[in-house]
């Protein structure tokens, strides 16, 4: 069920990251078309497209844009959340490394539509290759007059910079990201006020994900209705999906919104590696509830995944095989969240540590039956009691592992040990398969 | 010896500061620059950055200690960081660590006595489709990803490559 590619169209074209090749393949035409449209028309087109934020929360992009005040005494900002760090997620990297000009074109269109003066692409510091590609492309765009003052004689000024992160998962949260942009520790802010009203440098700010903005040129070029038709109800567009774990062809794949998990596993990624049997999967990053193979026919969509008992998140699916110990995996993820908690809210800072300790004890064979309810109780005390969603991101998955795989947890406690092979002693995948 | 940016770094510093409405906002890129110049972020380096950005030293301390990419103690010339978070754990990240401990002659979390290698565990590096993998942060400021490391021969090849590169890398302990 392969389809025509849009977001990933340039991934296989050699040197598509250069301005010359990008333009030879139709690049920067959407920008020119947008300059003939007014901001209101563009915002309406984005609303019609049903483009939902691609970072994980799925907020309708056009609605978010309409929250930005038209008039402002301070210059308005566009901040791109390229702090890709949700475990299991690796799609935005491809857009930045392989097609940076499409992203820059999306930034220019967004800024034009919204009357924004400055943009910062906040890329996690480890992604030095993506940073270099973006900086190279920005330099080319300046030289061509697509960035800077009086762009193509329109009278429109827009400056765009790359801002490197420095290693903190919490900066993927939009207000943590803004704090880090301002040179502080990335501790999320209370909302309201939302960034659209008081964001970067106290000014109205739009924060969008990389893939969201890279979708904008297609909406301008082919129209909001076309984009909406490439998806399911309330969930428009072609979209990138990641597939990882013990599968034959892990990678990033483009498919319409509404593709099923089974299609992504079997048709795109070639199924599980020979000798590996599917046990569970997470649909869109480690913060989502774990799902079992009976849910394989669920459609990838914000509503459909919620109905199926989880969430679409970043749409990068991680598959696990029957060698995977769910207690150990839950413990590993709890340690991740404990490490990444910014520390300002007690339930998250302390709770994540206690959850990790209890899970470690169960995995080591020292658990007690009452620990299972204790874990659920702790999750309940964290969820909803923190400034940002990181607290929920501990509670939701941990609760799901305990509930969905309760027998496995009980087995660890009854037998006083873990009977799964150690991480480093698991069956190795064969890359020659299929 | 007091720390001070080279002429080239100083020009870069000024360009970075010009990107933001205030100097504080240049903190993260300037700390990256300082680490590249001085090898690691000592208190002396923090004081220098504070002076250059004209902010209180505690603001620099705040950023330098919050973010994991800034080394508050010197690391090896090659800082090897193995991802073990989710897909990498499932696809052999821990096995990779055991192999590296043996081949590099350094225990996880430690720096080899000659200052060549530091081996650490890292959280998700957005490389899940090419798991297992590690990132190497070189002491000259470069970062390189090595992916699809489920084949021992390939890992050994990468180690050879790193060993060759060591000669041209500065020792962070001696950079200031």
Q: Could you read off the pLDDT of A43-82 as tens digits, one per residue?
A: 999 999 999 999 999 999 999 999 999 999 999 999 999 9
Torsion, Cα A214 A215 A219 A220, to 10 degrees, reads 0
Q: Which of A168, A186, A250 sits opposite B129 (nearest CB)?
A: A250
Q: What is the pLDDT of residue B100?
A: 98
Q: What is the pLDDT of residue B108?
A: 98
Q: Do A201 and B22 touch (CB under 8 A)?
A: yes
Looking at the fold, whether B22 and B105 belong to one and the same domain comes out as no
**DSSP characters over A84-143:** --STT--SHHHHHHH-HHHHHHHHHHHHHHHT--EEEEEE-TT-HHHHHHHHHHHHHHHH
Domain membership of residue B73 (yes or no) is no
Domain membership of residue B163 (yes or no) is yes
Alpha-carbon dihedral sign for residues B115, B119, B125, B130: positive
Q: What residue numbers bound the domain in which B159 lies?
A: 78-174
* CA of A48 vs chain B CAs: smallest distance (Å): 32
Window 221-280 of A: residues touching B by CB (8 A cutoff) are: 242-246, 250-252
Looking at the fold, whether B82 and B159 belong to one and the same domain comes out as yes
* CA of A339 vs chain B CAs: smallest distance (Å): 9
Q: Which domains does chain A have, with CATH numbers?
A: 19-229 (3.40.50.11540), 238-321 (3.10.20.600), 326-417 (1.20.1440.230)
Q: Do B86 and A318 touch (CB under 8 A)?
A: yes
Looking at the fold, whether B98 and B159 belong to one and the same domain comes out as yes
A-B Cβ pairs (cutoff 8 Å, strict) = 161
Which tokens hold the place of A290? 């774990």
* CA of B167 vs chain A CAs: smallest distance (Å): 23
For helices A100-114 and A128-143, the axis angle rounded to 10 degrees is: 60
Q: Which of B28, B93, B128 sits opposite A89 (nearest CB)?
A: B128
Looking at the fold, whether B165 and B112 belong to one and the same domain comes out as yes
Q: What is the pLDDT of residue A428?
A: 72
Domain membership of residue B1 (yes or no) is no
What pLDDT digit, counting tens, does each position of B10-68 carry?
A: 999 999 999 999 999 999 999 999 999 999 999 999 999 999 999 999 999 999 999 99
Sequence-ordered list of residues with C-beta below 8 angstroms from that of B9, at least 6 positions apart, any chain: B33, B36, B37
Please list every residue in chain B whose beta carbon sits closer than 8 Å to the beta carbon of residue A129: 145
Q: Do A166 and B84 touch (CB under 8 A)?
A: no
Q: Which of B19, B29, B129 sits opposite A90 (nearest CB)?
A: B129
Q: B124: annotated binding-site residue?
A: yes
What confidence category does residue A432 fall into, taking pLDDT thresholds of 50, 70 and 90? very low
Which tokens hold the place of B26? 């240049």
Strand partners, A207: A79
Domain membership of residue B31 (yes or no) is yes
Domain membership of residue B167 (yes or no) is yes
Burial class of residue B98 (count of CB atoms within 10 Å of its CB; 0-12, 13-18, 19+): middle
Domain membership of residue B71 (yes or no) is no
Torsion, Cα A279 A281 A286 A287, to 10 degrees, reads -110
Strand A238-244 to A278-282 pairing = unpaired
Q: Is the pLDDT of residue B94 over 70?
A: yes
Domain closes at, from B66, B96, B112: B66
Q: What is the pLDDT of residue A257?
A: 82
Q: What is the pLDDT of residue A413?
A: 98
What pLDDT digit, counting tens, does each position of A257-289 carry?
A: 889 999 999 999 999 999 999 999 999 999 999
Domain membership of residue B72 (yes or no) is no
Q: Which of A183, A250, A321 sits opposite B27 (nearest CB)?
A: A183
Q: What is the pLDDT of residue A231?
A: 87
CATH number at residue B155: 3.40.30.10
Q: Which of A92, A166, A424 sits opposite B69 (nearest CB)?
A: A166
Looking at the fold, whether B46 and B110 belong to one and the same domain comes out as no
Angstrom distance (rounded) from CA B74 to CA B78: 11
* CA of A205 vs chain B CAs: smallest distance (Å): 14
Q: What is the pLDDT of residue A2?
A: 55
Best CA proximity match to A369, nearest among A353, A357, A379, A358: A358
Q: Is the pLDDT of residue A408 over 80?
A: yes
Q: Is the pLDDT of residue A256 over 90?
A: no
Q: B88: annotated binding-site residue?
A: yes
Looking at the fold, whether B23 and B87 belong to one and the same domain comes out as no
Looking at the fold, whether B114 and B165 belong to one and the same domain comes out as yes
Angstrom distance (rounded) from CA B35 to CA B72: 10
DSSP single-letter state for residue B76 = -
Q: What is the pLDDT of residue A1?
A: 47
Q: Which of A168, A282, A425 sits opposite B67 (nearest CB)?
A: A168
Structural domain tally of chain B?
Answer: 2
Cβ atoms within 10 A of the Cβ of B12, count?
17
Angstrom distance (rounded) from CA B79 to CA B35: 13
Cβ atoms within 10 A of the Cβ of B49, count?
27
Q: Does residue A166 sit in helix, strand or coil?
A: coil
Q: Does residue A283 sit in helix, strand or coil?
A: coil
Strand partners, A163: A122
Which tokens hold the place of A330? 């839950």
Domain closes at, from B38, B66, B94: B66
Domain closes at, from B66, B87, B103: B66
What confidence category does residue A430 fall into, taking pLDDT thresholds of 50, 70 and 90? low
Looking at the fold, whether B20 and B94 belong to one and the same domain comes out as no
Looking at the fold, whether B96 and B18 belong to one and the same domain comes out as no
Q: Do B95 and A166 touch (CB under 8 A)?
A: no
Is A142 in CB contact (< 8 Å) with chain B? Answer: no
Q: Report the predicted TM-score, pTM, of the whole model to 2 decimal places.
A: 0.97
Which tokens hold the place of A239? 């979209």
Is B150 in CB contact (< 8 Å) with chain A? Answer: yes
Q: Which residue has the tokens 């919104």?
A: A257
Angstrom distance (rounded) from CA A219 to CA A30: 9
Angstrom distance (rounded) from CA A268 to CA A252: 9
Longest alpha-carbon distance in chain B: 51
* CA of A220 vs chain B CAs: smallest distance (Å): 29
Q: Do B32 and A168 touch (CB under 8 A)?
A: no
What pLDDT digit, counting tens, does each position of A315-353 carry?
A: 999 999 999 999 999 999 999 999 999 999 999 999 999
Looking at the fold, whether B158 and B106 belong to one and the same domain comes out as yes
What stretches of A11-89 show up as alpha helix (H) in DSSP?
19-24, 29-34, 39-48, 61-66
Q: Report chain A's mean pLDDT, rounded to a whole number.
A: 96
Q: Is the pLDDT of residue B131 over 80?
A: yes
Looking at the fold, whether B119 and B54 belong to one and the same domain comes out as no
Q: Do B150 and A429 touch (CB under 8 A)?
A: yes
Domain membership of residue B86 (yes or no) is yes
CATH number at residue B43: 1.10.10
What pLDDT digit, counting tens, does each position of A145-158 carry?
A: 999 999 999 999 99
Looking at the fold, whether B170 and B83 belong to one and the same domain comes out as yes
Window 88-117 of B: residues touching A by CB (8 A cutoff) are: 89-95, 97-98
Is A333 in CB contact (< 8 Å) with chain B? Answer: yes
**Is residue A238 within 8 Å of residue A131, measured between CB atoms?**
no
Angstrom distance (rounded) from CA B83 to CA A109: 36
Q: Does residue A181 sit in helix, strand or coil?
A: helix
What confidence category does residue A434 fall into, taking pLDDT thresholds of 50, 70 and 90? very low
């Amino acid at each position: 069920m392969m389809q025509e590619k849009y977001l990933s169209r340039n991934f296989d074209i050699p040197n598509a990251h250069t301005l010359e090749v990008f333009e030879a393949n139709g690049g920067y035409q959407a920008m020119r078309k947008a300059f003939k449209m007014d901001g209101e028309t563009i915002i309406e087109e984005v609303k019609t497209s049903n483009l939902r934020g691609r970072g994980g929360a799925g907020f309708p992009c056009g609605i978010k844009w309409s929250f930005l005040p038209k008039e402002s005494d301070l210059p308005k900002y566009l901040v791109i959340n390229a702090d890709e760090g949700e475990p299991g997620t690796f799609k935005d990297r491809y857009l930045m490394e392989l097609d940076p000009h499409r992203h820059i074109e999306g930034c220019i269109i967004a800024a034009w539509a919204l009357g924004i003066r400055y943009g910062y692409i906040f890329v996690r510091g480890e992604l030095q290759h993506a940073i270099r590609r973006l900086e190279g492309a920005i330099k080319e765009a300046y030289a061509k007059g697509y960035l800077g003052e009086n762009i193509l004689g329109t009278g429109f000024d827009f400056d765009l910079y790359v801002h490197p992160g420095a290693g903190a998962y919490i900066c993927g949260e939009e207000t943590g990201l803004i704090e880090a942009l301002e040179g502080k520790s990335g501790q999320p802010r209370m909302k309201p006020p939302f960034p659209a009203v008081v964001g970067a440098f106290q000014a109205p700010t739009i924060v969008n994900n990389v893939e969201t903005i890279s979708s904008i040129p297609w909406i301008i070029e082919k129209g909001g209705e076309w984009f909406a038709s490439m998806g399911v109800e309330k969930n428009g567009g072609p979209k990138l999906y990641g597939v990882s774990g013990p599968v034959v062809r892990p990678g990033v794949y483009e498919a319409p919104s509404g593709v099923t998990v089974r299609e992504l596993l079997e048709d795109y990624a070639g199924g599980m590696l020979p000798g590996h049997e599917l046990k569970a999967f997470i649909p869109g990053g480690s913060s989502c509830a774990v799902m079992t193979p009976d849910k394989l026919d669920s459609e990838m969509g914000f509503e459909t995944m919620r109905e199926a008992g989880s969430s679409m998140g970043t749409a990068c699916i991680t598959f696990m095989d029957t060698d995977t110990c769910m207690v150990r995996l839950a413990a590993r993820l709890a340690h991740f969240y404990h490490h990444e908690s910014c520390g300002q809210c007690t339930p998250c800072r302390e709770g994540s540590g206690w959850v990790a300790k209890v899970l470690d004890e169960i995995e080591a064979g020292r658990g007690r039956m009452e620990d299972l309810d204790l874990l659920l109780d702790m999750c309940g005390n964290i969820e909803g009691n923190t400034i940002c969603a990181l607290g929920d991101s501990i509670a939701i998955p941990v609760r799901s592992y305990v509930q969905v795989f309760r027998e496995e947890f009980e087995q660890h406690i009854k037998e006083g040990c873990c009977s799964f092979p150690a991480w480093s002693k698991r069956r190795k995948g064969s890359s020659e398969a299929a | 010896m007091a720390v001070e940016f080279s002429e080239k770094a100083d020009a870069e510093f000024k360009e970075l500061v010009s990107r933001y409405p205030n100097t504080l906002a240049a903190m993260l890129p300037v700390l990256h620059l300082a680490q590249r110049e001085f090898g690691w972020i000592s208190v002396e380096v923090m004081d220098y950055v504070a002076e250059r950005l004209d902010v209180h030293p505690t603001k620099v301390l705040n950023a330098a200690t919050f973010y994991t990419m800034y080394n508050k103690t010197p690391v090896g010339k090659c800082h090897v960081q193995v991802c073990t978070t989710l897909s990498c754990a499932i696809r052999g990240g821990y096995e990779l660590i055991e192999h590296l401990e043996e081949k590099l002659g350094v225990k996880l979390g430690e720096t080899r006595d000659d200052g060549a290698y530091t081996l650490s565990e890292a959280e998700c590096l957005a490389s899940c489709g090419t798991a297992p993998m590690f990132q190497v942060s070189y002491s000259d400021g470069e970062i390189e990803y090595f992916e699809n490391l489920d084949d021992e021969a390939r890992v050994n090849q990468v180690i050879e490559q790193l060993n060759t590169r060591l000669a041209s890398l500065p020792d962070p302990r001696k950079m200031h």
